Each structure stands twice: as C-alpha cells, then as structure tokens.
Structure 1
Amino acid sequence: MTREFLATDLNIDAYMIEPLDYVELVARLKQLLWVYNRANNSADSITTSPASAHRSDHASVKCDNLEIDFKQYRVTNGGVDLGLTPKEFSLLWYLMKHRGQVLSRDQLLEGVWGYDSIGSSRIIDIHISHLRDKLETNPQDPTWIKTVRGFGYILDNSYPLIAESM
C-alpha cells in the first residue's frame, strides 16, 4: 500500500514526507486554516422567514428599514449609512440572530467579544447606548433594543427578517 492510499482511508487532509521543507509546511498550514475558517464561517446561519439561510450565501439581510450588508460590513436605515463600528456591527448582528430572546450582558460579552465577564460588563451598556443613538429616532424611548431590567437586552422580534442574495 502507498502512503496516499493510507492517508485517504484515514480521512487525512494533507501529509508531508520527510525531510520537511519549513516554507512548504507553513504554506500548507495557512491554506488548511483558511479552508477551515471559511467552512466555519459558512456554518453560521440566520433564521429567516420562511426558511433558514447561510450568512455566506446572502449579501444582505433586511429587517424593516434596516439593511445589514455583509460584503461592505455596513448597516443602513432607509438607505442612510449608520456608520457602525465593527463591534457595534457585531453586536447588532448577534442581537439580530437572537431576536425576541432576552440576552444577559454575560451572554453578549461571550457571543460578541468571545470572553466571559471579568469584573464589569459595563462595556455592553456603553455599546448598546451607542447602537441606540444610531438606530433609534428617540434613544430615550427605544423601539428596537429594549432593556430587561436586572438581566440584559432584547431586540424587538416584530419585524420580519429577510435574507437577500446579490
């Protein structure tokens, strides 16, 4: 049996024969990481009406007057660019994926920042405030992102979420 046959039987993506060439090893690792990252990103899905769609399959998602453009990483409201920062964009998208669900500050920290709260979760409140300033006509009386006292935040679920391909 040859090495190629054994490698495919074991479901191995790649292999190298000694002596190893460092430049080739690094290039192959970078390529494998790129492939795995693309596969993981395409596995992130959103719940849409009436069916489920993959984020990578769609260029934008609309929710009432809001449009989230994944190619440009921007959000518009009625065609006007809101100028969200990357974290605000990620936070809004995380809230969109969990519309109608009350999310604690710790859940938001883990979901958007990727870590548990160490000390204060005040950073969530600050980013929510900035999002409200950009999303809401009256940030003092929000219609999109509501506070659930003593727990966290919820994004209004009354707007249909529609994924569009471009």
Structure 2
Amino acid sequence: MEEDLILIVEDEREIAELVQDYLEAEGYKCVLAFNGVEGLELFFQLRPTVAVLDVMLPKMDGIELCRRIRGESNIPIIIMSAKKSETDKIIGLGIGADDYVTKPFSPGELVARIKAQLRRFKHLSLQKEQEQTIRYPGLEIHLKEYMVVAGGKQVELSAKEFQLLAFLAGNKGQVFSKEQLLENVWGYQHVGDANTITVYVRKLREKIEPNPSEPIYIRTVWGIGYKFEGGSL
C-alpha cells in the first residue's frame, strides 16, 4: 500500500514539528511548510494524502490555501486555528475543509481526526472505484477506462463491443431482445439490423468466454434474445 503523505502548513515551527513527531510515530510520512505559498507549491509537487493547514499564515492565509487545494483535489483538509468562533468554523468548513481544530489542541486528538478523515476518504474512494468497475468471476469491466480483463488478461474491444458488454453486464439476469439491444446500445431500431447483434455477440464471446461454444457470460435465450450471467459454470 502506498504510504500516506501529510502536508502540514504551520508558521509556528514548534507546533509543526510537534504534529510531525506524533504523526510519524503513527507511521505517516510528513512534509512541512511555513507559509501559504510554500504550502501550495508542495501540494502541487508532492500531491499529499491529507493537508493540515493553519489559518494565520504569512504570504497566503490558510483559508485561501484551503480554497486553492480544494479546487484541485478532494483530499481531506483539516484546519487548525486559534480562532474559536462559530463564524470562523463555518467559513473554514464552507470553503472546503473537512474538519476544524481550535488551538491549543491535543496532538493525539489531531492524529485521531486525521485517521478518521483518511478512513472516510479511502472508503469513499473505494466505493467510487467499485461503481466504475463491473466485476464477475474471471471478468472485469472498467467503465471509465473502456478496458476489459478476461481470465486475467486485458482484451481489446471495439467501442460498440465494449458498450454492448457493459450494458448486458450492468443488467445481469435481464433478458433483452435484439431490437432492445439495438435501441439501448446503438440508439435506434431498424428492421433487418437485428443480425448486427448476432455478429457482435459472437465477437464478444470469442474474446471474453473461456469456451465460446459454451458461453458462461452471455447466454442465448432461444426465441427471445440474450442475457448476462455471472460466469458460474
């Protein structure tokens, strides 16, 4: 697993180094910046996993820095501030921060908050990745990349082959006529074009099925059309 990198932007060196010590004791890697401009430069250079920002920073304050980072990334951002009013917290959270810690704070509490934000971020990232990938035994369809892996090997599909497979796999168990597949994948209905589906299904089976003559993914429903199964034998 790639090591998490935490960007700490704090102009008080003692506080920055104290937070760094606590985080590194927990196994995190840290990088320090002591003004907002330097913090933004390090963000673009290193692309950290989490940003911990003080509000009162020289050259560029933490609110503007938070706004700039949020415009480029959805990583967790935690703001540290001596300002304790509800208005300040609302401003910080309103411009994209995920959490707000008031000074003086317990370094242990800050570490716990960073861990919580990381868990949430990684969980949401995993959910998003799973939503963009259709998985069945022996078959992965990566929707965003237009990529298919069958039997552990990447297979080359044309755009329409991919779209047909993704549509069928995204509607597991549902039977579609050739005309319905034409309408949903090609976007039209035309008498005489149904053979197009037959040709594309044959090509797909040759590319993704372990044994195209005995398909386990794209099944024929005689007299009706096709349906997608989960690859069980």
Q: What secondary structure does 1:93 align onto?
A: helix
Over the residues paired in the alignment, what is the CA RMSD in angstroms? Answer: 2.2
**Structure 1 position 122 matched with structure 2 position 195:** yes
- Aligned residue pair count: 106
* Percent identity over paired residues: 40
> Which whole-Å CA distance do the structure 2 matches of 1:154 and 1:112 have between them?
14
2:151 touches 2:210 (CA, 8 Å); kept in 1?
no
Residue of structure 2 equivalent to 1:143:
216
> Which whole-Å CA distance do the structure 1 matches of 2:181 and 2:210 have between them?
24
**Structure 1 residues 55 and 80: CA distance shift in structure 2, 3 A:** same
Residue of structure 1 equivalent to 2:229:
156
Residue of structure 1 equivalent to 2:146:
73
Give the TM-score taking structure 2 as reference length.
0.42
> Which whole-Å CA distance do the structure 1 matches of 2:222 and 2:208 have between them?
20
Equivalent in 171, 178, 185 of residue 105 of structure 1: 178
Gaps of 5+ in 1: 1-53, 160-166
2:216 touches 2:229 (CA, 8 Å); kept in 1?
yes
Residue 92 of structure 1, CA deviation: 0.5
Residue 158 of structure 1, CA deviation: 6.3
2:136 touches 2:230 (CA, 8 Å); kept in 1?
no
Residue 55 of structure 1, CA deviation: 7.9
Q: 1:64-86 deviations in whole A, cap 9, x for unaligned?
A: 12111123211001331111111
Greater radius of gyration (CA): 2
> Which whole-Å CA distance do the structure 2 matches of 1:64 and 1:77 have between them?
9
